Chain A
């Protein structure tokens, strides 16, 4: 599903966040990308959904070479993905339901189909009672739930989750992990970036460790 060959990323400020990274993730796999702040987890995910371009190396997602010069069809690939970013990227002028419905609207789904899928996604994250509420009235944890619902709403083939439990308390983290596990069992490939090592240890999924300062992947190990 995902192949990265010798990926490096150096920003114009000459800070290298990824260096000579090799990585392969199979379809249907659940992997943690773990490392401290500044180790390049977010950059790695952003490269996978085409928001960043690596300085060198090759990236292939779903058989599509993202690093091919002149590649302009990234939106097609993103339609098969669910993306969870740590800064939420929610639309404050829309309510909970409208935010979750947004990717479906963009993809041109029929209104009755949108309604059904949105209700299902909100039920999954436990926010069905708040569908008409404004985004501004939600706590950080609830916003994170909306972001997860939005990412899951169209049953993505690939879920790229950047710190999806970063603002959640333990109980909500467990609930969220349960949702991800269900999704994984249904066949979705999940790339889960986190700096919470205890979380990684609690779940039996492969871990891709990134070290601070962009020294790249040193090893790949199974969680406990």
Chain B
């Protein structure tokens, strides 16, 4: 068995060397196809993790009317703290809001020169307990505050989060539709590359058949060839994806960093990378199986 595997490996690599250009083309095409698919996976993965972080930072902001006294603010803070589901309450004065904006703008904070903090409204940040992160709960709290005369407006970003969820779902659907199309293309490419290999080895295959080689003995090196094409293509895709990820990390602007509010851009977890590699191998095997069914029929 081991000697057969050694023989099959030697034949596989000889076949691949003998048809180097078609093999490299197949590996590159598989690599690029899987790169497109895994790029969408990476985007969807990061959007989903961003969504999760936002959901976890879930808070409502109540903007206050102008001219309300500090006593009224104190009263209001006390009232909000007593509401069910409220974890913390934080008053943001116009000066705090200005300082926050300056911090966010970093080197570009001179854009705010000449702007008086007084033009910014004061607000109250209301952070909710984890059990209250759902839409229904937050709406209950918000509706309880809506009648308060000192509050101008309440924003809690629910619509934004819902829109974002739709974007994440769309990215996932696109990923799988594209994945399906690319999958068919990969199988087609591998099958056709192996057809070329099989044609160029026709004499050898006939000689094997005449000598009594079993169908498995003849077919296994071609299965292995498809397997290696898929594996190498998938490795190439994973490598390029990591490179692309590093480029995005380096190229990202400070403004973008500010927008992301310290949320890291993540690489795909190793389980997903392992699945991509496994997918490449399975696709390779399947493509070679199809080629073998079409072109390696025994005898007759």
Contacts and interface: CB of A to CB of B under 8 A. Distances in A.
B300 A78 contact: no
A75 B4 contact: no
Contacts of B207: 89-91, 102
Interface string B4-15: 100100000000
A75 B213 contact: yes
A224 interface: no
Contacts of B3: 108
A86 B4 CA distance: 31
Contact of A50 (B7, B213, B299): B299
B217 interface: yes
B298 to A, nearest CB: 7
B157 to A, nearest CB: 66
A102 B211 CA distance: 8
A89 B210 contact: yes
Contacts of B147: none
A83 B213 CA distance: 13
A76 B212 contact: yes
A74 interface: yes
B7 A75 contact: no
A106 B213 CA distance: 6
A79 interface: yes
Contacts of A52: 300
Given A89-B203, A89-B206, A102-B207, A51 B213 contact: no
B299 A106 contact: no
Interface in A94-118: 102-103, 105-108
Classify the secondary structure of B's interface with A.
Answer: helix
Contact of B300 (A51, A75, A89, A105): A51
Looking at B4, B204, B207, B217, the one whose CB has the most chain A CB atoms below 10 A away is B207
Contact of A105 (B7, B203, B206, B215): B7
Contact of B299 (A51, A102, A105): A51
Nearest to A160: B210
Contact of A53 (B211, B215, B298, B300): B300
B215 to A, nearest CB: 7
Contact of B212 (A51, A72, A81): A81
Contacts of B69: none
B7 A49 contact: no
Contacts of B7: 105
Most chain A C-beta atoms within 10 Å of own C-beta, residue among B7, B207, B211 = B211
A57 B257 CA distance: 81
Contacts of B217: 106
Give the interface size bracket for B toward A.
10 to 19
Contacts of A106: 208, 211-213, 217
Nearest to B18: A93
B214 interface: yes
A79 B214 CA distance: 10
Contacts of A108: 3-4
A90 B203 CA distance: 8
A152 B188 CA distance: 42
A78 B210 contact: yes
B300 A50 contact: yes
Interface-central residue, B3, B4, B210, by most chain A CB under 10 Å: B210
B13 to A, nearest CB: 15
A83 B298 contact: no
Interface in B196-228: 203-204, 206-215, 217
Nearest to A53: B300
B300 A103 contact: no
A64 to B, nearest CB: 13
B122 to A, nearest CB: 85
8 contacts: A49-B210, A50-B300, A51-B300, A72-B215, A79-B212, A89-B210, A91-B207, A107-B212
Interface of B: 3-4, 7, 203-204, 206-215, 217, 298-300
- 10 closest A-B pairs by CB: A79-B212, A78-B212, A103-B211, A106-B213, A106-B211, A75-B212, A75-B214, A50-B299, A83-B210, A53-B300
Given A74-B298, A89-B203, A108-B3, 7 more contacts: A50-B300, A81-B212, A85-B210, A89-B206, A90-B207, A106-B211, A108-B4
